[in-house]
Amino acid sequence: MSDTAPTLIHRFEPATDAARPPLLLLHGTGGDESDLIPLGRLVAPGTALLSPRGAVLENGMPRFFRRLAEGVFDEDDLRRRTDDLAAFVRQQQAERGLAAPVALGFSNGANIAASLLLRHPGLLRGAALLRAMMPFREPPAVRLDGTEVLLLSGTNDPIVPAASSAALARLLEDSGAAVTQHALPLGHGLSQMDVALTRGWLAAL
């Protein structure tokens, strides 16, 4: 691995349906490279799955970037980890001959997926952001024309403020992304509604 593409512990499952774009699976706090594999298989049968483990530990729990408190991100670390993840994705694409992936992120993973969209436009074909919030206080100005984004929030989520997920949706739309947003009668955890909506959205890409 080069200095610009850090080694990340990960799992890869090759595609059995070459017509589908690969999925970049990004777990939540305390997850690992195996956490979202079953979800990926459910929502996109046959697609290639690339699932890295976050390189940051918080009280022993893997994360993709540091935070200062719940809902308060270490934005310098977020930028650095986002760039590291982008380099990892590009190297995996080159080594494995992968097309631009669609990110499927939950919670902390959804937040770094949103950061990938904003810092590396064009890297992702699209992103399904499950329980995401605005990653930056002052987000960069980018163009995301042609990028599809699914945002699934929970109306009873104690972790992600509704205003933050709504602001992220507006930012992505203003940047040219095609945003599909659903506020579900749920908390922070995922449900069959998330599975069904994500599967339908991915099938329509």
Q: Using an 8 Å Cβ cutoff, are 43 and 195 in contact?
A: yes
Q: Are 141 and 111 in contact (CB under 8 A)?
A: no
What DSSP string runs through 134-165?
Answer: ---SSPPP---TT-EEEEEEETT-SSS-HHHH
Catalytically active residues, by annotation: 107, 157, 188
- E-assigned strand segments in the chain: 10-13, 23-26, 49-52, 56-58, 61-63, 67-69, 72-73, 102-106, 126-130, 148-154, 178-184
